[in-house]
C-alpha cells in the first residue's frame, strides 16, 4: 500500500471547452490549478507528467498521483484511458459531496477542483463519508445498457406519437382510428370524417400524416431492436455479458426475454455485497426520519438507477398477474389489496424491492422465490 505522505491528489473538472486540473501536493494545503483544452488527452498527459516531475524534484522521490473527476456527461472513457496508462483513477458521485448549507454557494471550476482534491485526500485517508466512488463498468457492460435505454426511449416516443394523433383526431370529433400500431393507416385516414360530417382539413390531415410517418419509423426501429436483441442472446460470440442469467430469469413465469435482458443489463451484471447494497443501487432503500419524538418514514431514497427502478415496478405488476400463488403476491394482497389505489401503488414499490432481492438470489444462487411457478424449459 502506498504511503499517504507520498500521494498527490489530482482533480479534473470536465467541460466541453476546457478541463481544469487541480493538484494537491502530499504536504501542505495549497492547490495548484492549470487548464488544458477539453478533450485533448495528449495535453492532459503532458500536464500530469509535469506535475509528477515537479513534485519528484521538490520531494526528492517519485510521487504517486491519485486522480478523480465527477461522473457525468463524459461517461467513463477518460477513466479507462488514464488507467490504461498506469494511473489510479476515482470517479466520484457529485451528488454525494458534503456541502455547506449556510447560504448561497459560490460556483467556479477552480473552487470545484480545489474541493475535489481535498475530498479525495480525505477519502484515501479512510473517511468514506465525504463522497461516494462510482465503480467504472467494463466497456461490454456499459455497451449492454444501450439495449435497454434505447428500447425505453423508443417506447416513450411511440406513446407520444400515438397520444398526439389521438389528440388531433379528438379535436374534430373522431374517437378512434385503426392502424396506430401498424397497418394501412393511410387508407383509414382518407376515409375519415369529422364529427359534424366534414372531410378532414388539408393541414390537419397533413399534420396527422407526418405524425403517422414518424410513428411508423419508431415502430420499425423497435422491431429491428427486438430482432437484434434476440440475435445477441443466441450468438455465443456476442459481447453481451451474463447471457446465462437472462436464460435463468426467463424460467420464471411472468418474466419474458425482454424483461430479463433489461434486468441483466441494468442490474444483475453487477456484483452486490448484500440485499441492502442492491436496494441502494436501485434507489429502493428506505429513508427514515427521526428527530426527538418525531419518527416517520419518508419513502424510498430514489437515489439509484432510475431506469432499473422503473423496470422493477413494471415487473412487480406483471408478477401479480402471472405468479398469483407466490409468497410475494400473497404478501402484497394481504397488506395492500383492500386499502385503495394509493395504498396499492405504494405497496407495489415495496414489493418491487422484495422482488429484486428474490430475483438476485435466484440468478446468483439458484434459490427459487417461494411459491413461484417455474416454466418447464
CB-based contacts of 269: which residues, under 8 Å, 6+ apart?
Answer: 137, 141, 144, 241, 242, 245
Q: With cut-offs at 50, 70 and 90, classify the pLDDT of residue 337.
A: confident
Give me the chain's average pLDDT, please.
90
pLDDT band for position 255 (cuts 50, 70, 90): very high
Give Cβ neighbours of residue 57 (< 8 Å, ≥ 6 apart).
Answer: none
> How crowded is the C-beta side of 196, counted as CA atoms within 13 Å?
3
Domain ranges within the chain, ordered by starting residue:
4-134, 139-241, 244-365
Ramachandran region of residue 28, left (φ > 0), alpha (ψ -120 to 50) or beta?
left
Residue whose C-alpha is closest to residue 119's, from 82, 92, 89: 92
Angstrom distances, CA of residue 277 to CA of 191, 222, 280, 316, 362: 57, 33, 5, 20, 16
- Cα–Cα distance, 61 to 58 (Å, whole number): 8
What confidence tens digit (pLDDT) does each residue in 17-64 have?
Answer: 999 999 999 988 899 999 999 999 999 999 999 999 999 999 999 999
User: What's the confidence (pLDDT) of residue 50?
Assistant: 96
Lowest mean pLDDT among 252-261, 282-291, 323-332: 282-291
The CB density around residue 116, as the number of other CB atoms within 10 Å, is: 26
Distance of alpha carbon 292 from alpha carbon 153, whole angstroms:
45
CATH superfamily of 4-134: ATPase, nucleotide binding domain (3.30.420.40)
Asked if 165 and 200 count as a contact pair (C-beta separation under 8 A), the reply is no
Question: What's the pLDDT score for residue 126?
Answer: 92
Spatial contact of 332 and 339, defined as CB atoms under 8 Å apart: no
Q: What is the mean pLDDT of residues 183-194?
A: 84
Q: What is the mean pLDDT of residues 140-161?
A: 91
pLDDT of residue 147: 85
Answering whether pTM is above 0.85, one says: no
In tens, the pLDDT along 289-310 reads: 788 888 888 878 888 888 899 9
Whether the per-residue pLDDT at 208 is higher than 60: the answer is yes
Mean pLDDT for 337-366 is 90
Measuring CA to CA, which residue among 66, 71, 67, 65 is closest to residue 132?
Answer: 71
137 Cβ partners below 8 Å, 6+ apart?
Answer: 76, 269, 270
- Which set of grid coordinates corresponds to residue 170? 379528438
357's grid cell: 432481492
Q: Are strands 32-37 and 88-92 parallel, antiparallel or unpaired?
A: unpaired
Report whether pLDDT(1) > 50: no
| Share above pLDDT 90 across residues of the chain, in percent, rounded to a whole number | 61
Overall average pLDDT of the 351-366 stretch? 94
Residue 3 has pLDDT above 70, yes or no: no
Looking at residue 91, what is its pLDDT? 97
Say whether pLDDT at 98 is over 70: yes
Output the pLDDT for position 268: 92
Residue with cell 447471457: 243
pLDDT range class, residue 346, cuts 50, 70, 90: confident
Q: What is the C-alpha radius of gyration for the chain, rounded to an integer number of angstroms?
A: 27
For residue 60, with 0-12 CB atoms within 10 Å meaning exposed, 13-18 middle and 19 or more buried, which class applies?
A: exposed
Residue 89's H or E segment, with its range, is strand 88-92
Amino acid at each position: 500500500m502506498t504511503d499517504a505522505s507520498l500521494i498527490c491528489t489530482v482533480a479534473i473538472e470536465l467541460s466541453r471547452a476546457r478541463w481544469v486540473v487541480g493538484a494537491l501536493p502530499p504536504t501542505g494545503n495549497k492547490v495548484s490549478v492549470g487548464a488544458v483544452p477539453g478533450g485533448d488527452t495528449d495535453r492532459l498527459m503532458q500536464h500530469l507528467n509535469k506535475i509528477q516531475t515537479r513534485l519528484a524534484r521538490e520531494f526528492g522521490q517519485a510521487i504517486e498521483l491519485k486522480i478523480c473527476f465527477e461522473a457525468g456527461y463524459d461517461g467513463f472513457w477518460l477513466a479507462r484511458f488514464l488507467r490504461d496508462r498506469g494511473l489510479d483513477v476515482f470517479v466520484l458521485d457529485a451528488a454525494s459531496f458534503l456541502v455547506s448549507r449556510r447560504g448561497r454557494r459560490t460556483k467556479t471550476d477552480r473552487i470545484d477542483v480545489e474541493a475535489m482534491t481535498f475530498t479525495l485526500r480525505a477519502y484515501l485517508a479512510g473517511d468514506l463519508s465525504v463522497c461516494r466512488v462510482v465503480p467504472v463498468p467494463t466497456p461490454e457492460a456499459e455497451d449492454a445498457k444501450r439495449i435497454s435505454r434505447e428500447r425505453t426511449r423508443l417506447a416513450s416516443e411511440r406513446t407520444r406519437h400515438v397520444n398526439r394523433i389521438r389528440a388531433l383526431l379528438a379535436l374534430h370529433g373522431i374517437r378512434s382510428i385503426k392502424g396506430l400500431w401498424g397497418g394501412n393507416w393511410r387508407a383509414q385516414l382518407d376515409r375519415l370524417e369529422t364529427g359534424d360530417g366534414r372531410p378532414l382539413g388539408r393541414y390537419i390531415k397533413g399534420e396527422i400524416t407526418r405524425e403517422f410517418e414518424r410513428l411508423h419509423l419508431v415502430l420499425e426501429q423497435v422491431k429491428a431492436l427486438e430482432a437484434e436483441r434476440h440475435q445477441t442472446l443466441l450468438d455465443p460470440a456476442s459481447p453481451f455479458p451474463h447471457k446465462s442469467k437472462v436464460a435463468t430469469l426467463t424460467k420464471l413465469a411472468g418474466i419474458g426475454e425482454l424483461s430479463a435482458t433489461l434486468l441483466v443489463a441494468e442490474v444483475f451484471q453487477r456484483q452486490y455485497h448484500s440485499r441492502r447494497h442492491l436496494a441502494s443501487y436501485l434507489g429502493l432503500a428506505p429513508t427514515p426520519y427521526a428527530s426527538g419524538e418525531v419518527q416517520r418514514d419518508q419513502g424510498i431514497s430514489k437515489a439509484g438507477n432510475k431506469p432499473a427502478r422503473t423496470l422493477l415496478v413494471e415487473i412487480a405488476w406483471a408478477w401479480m398477474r402471472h405468479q398469483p400463488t407466490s409468497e410475494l403476491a400473497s404478501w402484497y394482497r394481504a397488506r395492500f389489496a383492500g386499502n385503495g389505489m394509493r395504498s396499492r401503488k405504494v405497496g407495489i414499490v415495496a414489493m418491487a424491492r422484495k422482488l429484486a432481492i428474490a430475483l438476485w438470489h435466484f440468478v446468483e444462487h439458484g434459490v427459487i422465490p417461494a411459491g413461484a411457478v417455474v416454466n418447464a424449459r
